[in-house]
Structure 1
Amino acid sequence: MPQFFSNKRLIILLVSMIVLVAMIGFSMKERENISWPEQFLHDTVGWSQSIFYKPAHFVAGFFGNVVEMKQIYEQNKILKKQLNEYDKLASRVKDLKKDNETLRQTLDKKESLSDFTVWQATVIGRSPEKLWYQTVQIDKGKQAGIEPNMAVISAKGLIGKVDKVSAFHSTIELISSHDPNSRISAVIHGEDERIHGLIQGYDPKRKVLLMKMIGIDKELKKGQTVTTSGYGGVFPKGLEIGKIVDVEPDKVEPTQTAYIQPAADLYDIDHVMVVKRTMQEVDVETDPDQTEEEGK
């Protein structure tokens, strides 16, 4: 009996292998239609795959999106930092170009001031916003030789005068200040004559200087240049103040007022020059006989 059962198992195994090989061969044969067991197996496998594949794909996609979002965030953070650094660098380059241009203009102007003693200075402070056009502070003082009432100019024109001086710093009163006692003796360069007047006052709305005490009979034109006359005792002769942009007759006095557009930029001041006209000494030969006569 045991031998029979052993042979029976062997026969079943052989039959099963033969059926399996037959089925494999049958399935590999090119056919237009598949058998219903194959259809059942195919549909079962496909349905099982769809059940497990979709959740697995969703979970994998979710974690993939999280990783991708994190990478995008890090990249965005780096790009934002680089953009901020670029903005800072661009702003710095712009400031350096402006300083370079201003310094070049200052040096060119300094070379043309052969009749003046010149101190180059940098603006280090300014009045608050409401008093913006009143005063500025520079980094030169008594130690450099600066004295009160010295004229201060930029590369483009007159800015003001030295008001207060300490050892290493000075306060500059701008020509646009509201000081009622501030006056600048000025001259308008006409075609055939020089027309005199006084720079007295500043219109903050129009951003122009007021030149008063001009005779009503004097013919003024827009665009005429205005410079210091040198008669006031403070400002040397020949410093450019600005140009005429408008003219109005006085309502009471027989005079007219010229509105002067300042040559210098009084709003944005970085580098200035403090100037003092060099006094030229003239040697006068004295007649010996006259000297002897005066000595008696």
Structure 2
Amino acid sequence: MRNKRMFVLMIVFILFVAVMGFSIGDRKKLTWPENFSLDSTAFLQEWMYRPAGYVAELFKDLSNLHAIYKENEELRIAAAAYARDSIKYNFVEAKNKELQEMLNFTERQKQLYNYKYLIAQVVAVGNDPYSETIRINLGSKDGIKINMVVVTDKGLVGLVNRVDPFFSSVMPITKLSETSPDTKAIAATVLGKEKDSFGIVDNYHSDTGKLSMSKISEHDPLTKGDTIITSGQGNVFPRGMVIGTVDSSQVGDFGLTYTATITPAADFDHLTEVFVVQLPETGENAE
């Protein structure tokens, strides 16, 4: 009944305004009741149309946000692909082509370094200095497995050390310690000098924020500013992942080998999104 009354009142009001409009005719001066009625009508129209405009703008903004989010996802994928390809085409492609021609590689061998990158969101970072881990929102349901490498578009982050159905934990390279049995040393080389350079990244110094690379030959061409990448030896860290850049090198223990100080490429203070490196399924890593 109440809705019907409101509807009837609205109809009467509209008819009243219409009749008043006809009665005004060509008069230049309106009476105060007519002015009051016209002003009231204008106010009512503004009161009705303004919220409608706000709602329309809201839907328009939501549509734009969805488009921006989709575009950002595509840009992130492109950034990951660029990070991969910058290493792949400078290092892997030429070597693979040479080996394929010389050794007549099988199709499985040709696909050995054809990595895929899965985008993951960082949902938590552990603050415990004794068990520092990074939590991501991909798990076994997404194909994540233990010891998969995690990177950003700048460089290496760490290894997956625990997998749940929908989430996984990552042990960052900032936990590298030559005395800890829980961390895995990284076989490394220098980008562009892969045939002549080799070392082991096996320690992180929290006081300086630097990594240590040891077991470097005295004849190694490693110099300050070189880009350090994973060599692929050891079957843990896939080949070609950027670790960081060389700050300095010095004589190691007993003067037989050298060590180098490495600045990590990944920014561990602002981890929001990472990429899990998925290796091609072969007879060795397929389950």
Sort the TM-score into its range (normalised by shorter chain).
0.5 to 0.7
Instruction: Give the letter for the 1:173 counterpart.
Output: M
- Classify 1:235/1:104 alpha carbon distance in 2 versus 1 (closer, same or farther; 3 Å): same
Counterpart selection for 1:164 from 162, 176, 194: 162
> Which of the pair has more CA radius of gyration?
1
Matched with 2:219 is 217
What per-residue deviation string (whole Å, max 9, x for no partner) do you get for residues 59-110 of structure 1?
A: xxxxxxxxxxxxxxxxxxxxxxxxxxxxxxxxxxxxxxxx999967632233
Q: RMSD over aligned Cα, in angstroms?
A: 2.7
SS in structure 2 opposite 1:107? helix
Measure how far apart 1:119 and its partner are: 1.3
Which of 200, 207, 210 does residue 208 from structure 1 map onto?
210
Whether contact under 8 Å (1:106, 1:154) holds in the other structure is no
Match of 1:128 in 2: 127
CA contact (8 A) 2:193 2:221 kept: no
- % identical aligned pairs: 29
Matched residue SS, 1:128: coil
Alpha-carbon distance change, 150 to 177 in structure 1, aligned in 2, over 3 angstroms:
same
Q: Which one of the candidate residues 262, 265, 275 is aligned to 2:264?
A: 262
Q: Render the CA deviation track for 1:215-243: whole Å, top value 9, x for unaligned.
A: 12323311001111111201111111111
Specify the alignment match of 2:19 in structure 1: none
> What is the count of residue pairs matched by the alignment?
182
Q: 1:164 to 1:253 in 2, by over 3 A?
A: farther
Given the alignment of the two structures, is residue 141 of structure 1 paired with residue 133 of structure 2, yes or no? no
Change (3 A) 1:103 1:197: farther
Distance 1:199 1:101 in 2: 37
- Could you list the per-position Cα deviations for residues 122-166 of structure 1 after superposition, in whole angstroms to 9, with x for gaps in the alignment? 01111116459x320001100111000001000111111111001
Can you give the 5+ residue segments of structure 2 that lack an aligned partner in the other structure?
1-68, 86-113
Cα gap change, 1:279 to 1:253, in 2 (>3 Å): farther
Matched, 1:153 2:151: yes
**Counterparts in 2 of 1:178 and 1:241: CA distance versus 1, 3 Å:** closer
State the AA in 1 paired with 2:203: G
User: If the length of structure 1 is used for normalisation, what is the TM-score?
Assistant: 0.56
Q: Structure 1 residues 142, 280: CA separation in 2 closer, same or farther (over 3 Å shift)? A: closer
Structure 1 position 280, deviation (Å): 7.7
Q: Deviations over 1:192-222 (max 9, x none)?
A: 9530111100011211111111012323311
